[in-house]
Chains A and B, each alone.
Chain A
Amino acid sequence: MSIKTSARIKLAIGSLILILLAVLILSLGVGAVRLTPLEVFSALADRAMKNWHRSIIWDFRLPRVLLVSLCGAALASAGVGFQGLFRNPLADPYVVGASGGAALGATLAAIFSFPNFSIPLGAGALVGSLLAVMVVYMISEISNFDSVAGILLAGSAMSTMLTAVVTLLLLLNDEVLHGIYAWLLGSFSSANWSQLKQTCILAPPGMICTWLMARSMDALASGEESAHALGLNLRKARLIIVLGSSMATAAAVSVSGIIGFIGLIAPHLARALIGANHKSVVPVSMLLGSLLLLVADDLARTLMAPIEMPVGIFTALLGGPLFLYLLQKGGK
Chain B
Amino acid sequence: MPILKACDLSLAYKSRIAVTGFSAAIGKGNVVGLIGPNGSGKTTILRAFSGLIQPIKGTIDIDGKQLSSLSARKRAQMIGWVPQRERLAWPLTVGEVISLGRAPHRGWMLPLTKDDHLVVEQSLSLTDLIGMADRKVDELSSGEFQRVLIARALAQEPQLLLLDEPTSNLDIHYQIEVMDLVLQLIKKRKITVIIAIHDLAIAARYCNKLVLLHKGKKICEGNPCDVLTTDNMKLAFNVIANLYRDPYHQWAVSARNGCV
Contacts and interface: CB of A to CB of B under 8 A. Distances in A.
A87 interface: yes
B92 A221 contact: yes
Contacts of A228: 50-52, 72
Contact of B89 (A87, A212, A225): A87
Given A215-B100, A230-B104, A232-B72, A221 B83 contact: no
Nearest to B149: A226
Contacts of B81: 225-226, 229
Interface string A1-36: 110110000000000000000000000000000000
Nearest to B91: A276
A30 to B, nearest CB: 36
Contacts of A221: 88-90, 92
B77 A231 contact: yes
A314 B202 CA distance: 60
B92 A276 contact: yes
Contacts of A277: 92-93, 96
B93 A218 contact: no
B75 interface: yes
Nearest to A281: B90
A218 B76 contact: no
B200 to A, nearest CB: 26
A222 B72 CA distance: 17
Contacts of A313: none
Contacts of B93: 1, 5, 275, 277
A233 B51 CA distance: 12
Interface string A208-220: 0000110110111
A120 interface: no
B134 interface: yes
Nearest to B47: A225
Contacts, number: 93
B109 interface: yes
Interface residues of B, number: 37
A223 B100 contact: no
Interface in B36-84: 50-52, 72-77, 79-81, 83
A295 interface: no
A8 to B, nearest CB: 10
Contacts of B11: none
B72 A233 contact: yes
B41 to A, nearest CB: 17
A88 interface: yes
A66 B109 CA distance: 29
B89 A88 contact: yes
B114 interface: no
Contact of A4 (B92, B99, B134): B134
Contacts of A322: none
Contacts of A275: 91-93, 96, 136
Nearest to A216: B108
A218 B73 contact: no
Interface in B155-177: 156
Contact of A222 (B51, B74, B80, B100): B100
Contact of A229 (B80, B87, B133): B80
Contacts of B197: none
A271 B80 contact: no
B101 interface: yes
Given A218-B92, A229-B52, 6 more contacts: A87-B89, A89-B90, A219-B100, A229-B81, A230-B101, A277-B96
15 contacts: A1-B95, A1-B99, A2-B134, A89-B90, A216-B108, A218-B96, A221-B88, A226-B83, A228-B50, A228-B52, A230-B156, A231-B103, A231-B104, A237-B108, A275-B91
Interface of A: 1-2, 4-5, 87-89, 212-213, 215-216, 218-223, 225-226, 228-233, 237, 271, 275-277
